């Protein structure tokens, strides 16, 4: 069995669905079901005997110890995190608690559990820590993409909290020998993403005839990675990665935010035409957020060289799949758009025209 934290979130949920489609090995999923955790994402496997769900907080050490002793996993894949930069600006405390204190609790529980294992089990055990490119800071247009050797220069409370958790994971490998693997990924997109992030927010707002908010001049650049490709990369690292190593996972697709929004509008014009006209009419530039990093880009040559992974989806194919998924799943979208979510969107984007 493998133990997944945060498996009801966007990436974790996709990973569990992907894992159970590709493997007979059972999965234990621990998720606190905060606003972005959605058990409906995993409804198709809810009754699968290979899937075990436990609602709980990774900060609860007694819970972690009990689960490890009961289920005795051969690996931990740690997705659980607060992950939205805008939310971290407004409420950094939650990010420090979950991303730093929670990662510490999980690492300590894993270390104690790992030390109870027999020699062969200790040798094969892995702790996979899933992180982000934002720990590296921001790039200028002429800079080379982030490599695994880049210094950490986090600029947002979210990025700082993830950088701290990366450092803890590294220390638990070097100090205690816990076989840790770390991956830093670029911006993910795909099915089941909570509609606060750029791509699903644009799709959902466009279909509702609402404004499509774009920060600043819209020229902030991100490297876009289809979530299915990310899941394949995690499986490859978990199976063959070297303990103590970090692997960057990138889509090799740098695009400005405004280009992403326009590409979505173009797809919707073809797939779901609006009687009111082209969707681009809804684009609204708003005041930039504080400390908005200008550019991220990932050098993913190490994982390709060592593990043979490279993205299978082009941005065009991945975006089309994503838009088609949201068009085909209006019930899932409606169910995540709670009153609390709408209040967040209104507070973050309402009345902020540039």
Q: Which residues are catalytic?
A: 133-134, 158
Could you tell me the CA-to-CA distances from 62 to 99, 127, 232, 283 in Å, in that order?
18, 19, 32, 48
Question: Residues 6 or more apart from 50 whose CB is under 8 A from it?
Answer: 20, 24, 25, 26, 27
Residue whose tokens read 């279909």 = 207
Could you tell me the CA-to-CA distances from 114 to 12, 74, 124, 138, 259 in Å, in that order?
23, 9, 10, 37, 47
Q: How far apart are CA 259 and CA 339, in angstroms?
A: 30
Contact by Cβ (8 Å): 45, 20: yes
**Rounded to the nearest 5 degrees, what angle is found at the Cα of 184, between the Cα atoms of 179 and 188?**
130
Residue 41, SS3 per DSSP:
helix
The two three-digit tokens of residue 21, written as one number: 């489609």
Helices 198-208 and 315-328: crossing angle in degrees, nearest 10, is: 50
Residue 47, SS3 per DSSP:
coil
Alpha helices, H only, 80-185: 85-90, 92-95, 103-114, 119-124, 157-176
């Amino acid at each position: 069995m493998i133990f997944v934290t945060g498996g009801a979130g966007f990436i974790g949920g996709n990973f569990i669905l992907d894992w159970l489609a590709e493997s007979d090995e059972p999965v234990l999923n621990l998720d606190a079901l905060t606003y972005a955790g959605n058990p409906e994402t995993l409804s198709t496997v809810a009754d699968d005997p290979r899937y075990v769900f436990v609602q709980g907080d990774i900060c609860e050490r007694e819970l972690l110890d009990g689960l490890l002793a009961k289920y005795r996993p051969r690996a931990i894949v740690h997705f659980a995190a607060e992950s939205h930069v805008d939310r971290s600006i407004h409420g950094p405390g939650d990010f420090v608690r979950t991303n730093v204190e929670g990662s510490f609790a999980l690492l300590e529980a894993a270390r104690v559990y790992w030390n109870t294992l027999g020699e062969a089990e200790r040798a094969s055990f892995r702790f996979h820590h899933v992180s982000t490119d934002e720990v590296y800071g921001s790039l200028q247009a002429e800079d080379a993409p982030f490599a695994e050797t880049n210094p950490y220069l986090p600029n947002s409370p979210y990025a700082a909290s993830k950088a701290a958790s990366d450092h803890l994971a590294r220390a638990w490998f070097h100090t205690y020998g816990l076989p840790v693997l770390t991956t830093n990924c670029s911006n993910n997109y795909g099915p089941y993403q909570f509609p606060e992030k750029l791509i699903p927010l644009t799709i959902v707002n466009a279909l509702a005839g609402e404004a499509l908010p774009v920060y600043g001049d819209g020229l902030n650049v991100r490297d876009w990675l289809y979530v299915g490709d990310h899941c394949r990369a995690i499986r490859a690292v978990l199976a063959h990665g070297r303990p103590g190593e970090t692997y960057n996972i990138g889509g090799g697709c740098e695009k400005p935010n405004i280009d992403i929004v326009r590409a979505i509008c173009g797809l919707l014009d073809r797939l779901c035409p609006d009687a009111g006209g082209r969707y681009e009419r809804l684009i609204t530039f708003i005041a930039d957020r504080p400390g908005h990093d200008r550019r991220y880009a990932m050098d993913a040559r190490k994982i390709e060289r060592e593990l043979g992974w490279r993205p299978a989806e082009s941005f065009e194919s991945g975006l089309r799949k994503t838009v088609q998924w949201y068009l085909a799943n209006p019930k899932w979208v409606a169910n995540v758009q709670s009153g609390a979510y709408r209040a967040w969107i209104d507070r973050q984007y309402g009345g902020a025209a540039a």
